[in-house]
Each structure stands twice: as C-alpha cells, then as structure tokens.
C-alpha cells in the first residue's frame, strides 16, 4: 500500500460486448470501462480510473480482459469482487482480483495476448450462437485456411491487415507467436497469439482467411500482402465483431 493509503489491484474481467460501444469510454454511449468504473466507485466511495490491457471494439467479447486500478479501501479483494459482481449488469463479470505492484500496468506490462474467433458453417445457426460466432453459409476449406494462417506467424509489418485507428501509432510491425485453425463439426475456431495487435488486426486476418476458405484467395497471398506492407485494401475485409473474444493476457 502506498503512503497515501492507495494500493494497485489487478482485475480479470469477462464480458459480453453486445450491448456496449466497446471497452473504452465514449461520450453518451455505454462502455465496459465506464460501467466498471461507476460500479467500483460506488463500492469504495471515491473516483477511479481503470486501465485495460487493450481496447475491444463494439460487439467484441472477452473471457480474459485484464485491467488495473488504484484504490483506497480496507475491503479485501474477495469482498471487492463480490460487491462489484452484485452491482454489475449480468453481461459483465469480474472473475478475479489480485494485488499488483505499484509499477504494474495492464497494457504496458503485457507480453503476450490471445484472441479467439468463432465461425459456424451451414444453412442455419443456433439462436444462442448468433451473438458469439460469425455465421458462414458455405463450407470452408479448413486446410487452406491453416496453410494461410501459418504465413502470419513471425515478426511482420501488418499494415495490410489493420484499419486506420484515427490516431498516431509508432509502427505496424508486430509478432505473431502462433495461429491455429481448429475444426469440429460446423464450428471453426481461429486462435491467434501475439505480442500485441493493431486496430482490427485480428478481424482483418480472419476476414482474409475466410476468403481463402471460400476459394476467393490462395493461401500464398498472405505472404505477398505482408511483404508488400501496403495499406489495407478491399480484398482484406474485417470479419464481423461478434465472433471475436479477447481470450487471455500473459504477464
């Protein structure tokens, strides 16, 4: 605990992003960050600023979002967790609260993240899946998508697989540690791990892999686009938001 009576805590948060404009606070629109801050402030009685490991867009979900916040309270972490979950809407849950060092930062201290993207193939999709998976009517060539996904692994310039974030960024170079495409029944899961991700990078990579799976692009095209490092064009679409989950963050 700091001399001023505050301490830093780390929250692991899961949420259904359907009803929110995304993680980050935006004027006159509900966000996950704002909801958490308002609830925590109500529990401990003073204003707080919660910092997430990264931003998720409108409609994107999380199983393992991580955030840090400085609090001045005698409540134990388990009591904080229970009090917050009792007040939060049912589409947001704090899964864990732990003490953190004073220099811990949810975004800057992270060295490894995993996103998963879910697709359901076929004529119909079950109603309980509609908000948590992208429905693709055609059968996809999973082996072709696997070959294409392998080309993303390594350190590359991902300029062709990111959208304009409307803010300054230092570099579009990122490292992908693994990119797995699994298939069971009508469901296809894309699981990608990396040191960090650009704005809409995962949805752009998956969007292109889906074009490969449909036969509109060859697996080898990924390598060509990475080598060109040109700004994203129409042949690299963003996959719909509802299939994407921030799965886990490592420190």
* Catalytically active residues, by annotation: 57
Assess contact for 96 and 81: CB atoms under 8 A.
Answer: yes
C-alpha–C-alpha distance, residues 8 and 174, integer Å: 29
For residue 96, count other CB atoms closer than 10 A to its CB: 14
CB atoms inside a 10 Å sphere around CB 202 = 27
Torsion, Cα 96 90 131 249, to 10 degrees, reads -10
For residues 237 and 211, the answer to whether their CB atoms sit within 8 Å is yes
């Amino acid at each position: 605990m700091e001399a001023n009576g505050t301490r830093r805590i780390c929250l692991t948060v899961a949420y259904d992003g359907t009803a929110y404009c995304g993680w980050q606070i935006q004027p006159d629109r509900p966000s996950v960050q704002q909801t958490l801050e308002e609830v925590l402030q109500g529990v401990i009685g003073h204003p707080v600023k919660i910092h997430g490991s990264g931003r998720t867009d409108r409609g994107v979900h999380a199983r393992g979002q991580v955030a840090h916040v400085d609090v001045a309270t005698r409540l134990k972490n388990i009591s904080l967790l229970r009090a917050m979950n009792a007040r939060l809407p049912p589409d947001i849950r704090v899964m864990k609260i732990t003490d953190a060092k004073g220099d811990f930062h949810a975004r800057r201290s992270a060295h490894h993240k995993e996103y998963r993207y879910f697709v359901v193939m076929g004529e119909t999709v079950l109603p309980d899946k509609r908000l948590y998976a992208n429905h693709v009517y055609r059968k996809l060539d999973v082996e072709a998508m696997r070959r294409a996904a392998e080309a993303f692994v390594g350190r590359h310039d991902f300029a062709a697989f990111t959208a304009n974030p409307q803010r300054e960024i230092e570099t579009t170079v990122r490292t992908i540690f693994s990119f797995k495409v699994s298939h069971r029944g009508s469901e296809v899961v894309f699981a990608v791990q990396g040191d960090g991700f650009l704005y809409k990078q995962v949805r752009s990579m998956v969007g292109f892999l889906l074009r490969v799976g449909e036969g509109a692009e060859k697996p080898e095209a990924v390598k060509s686009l990475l080598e060109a490092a040109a700004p994203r064009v129409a042949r690299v679409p963003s996959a719909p938001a509802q299939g994407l989950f921030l799965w886990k963050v490592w420190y």
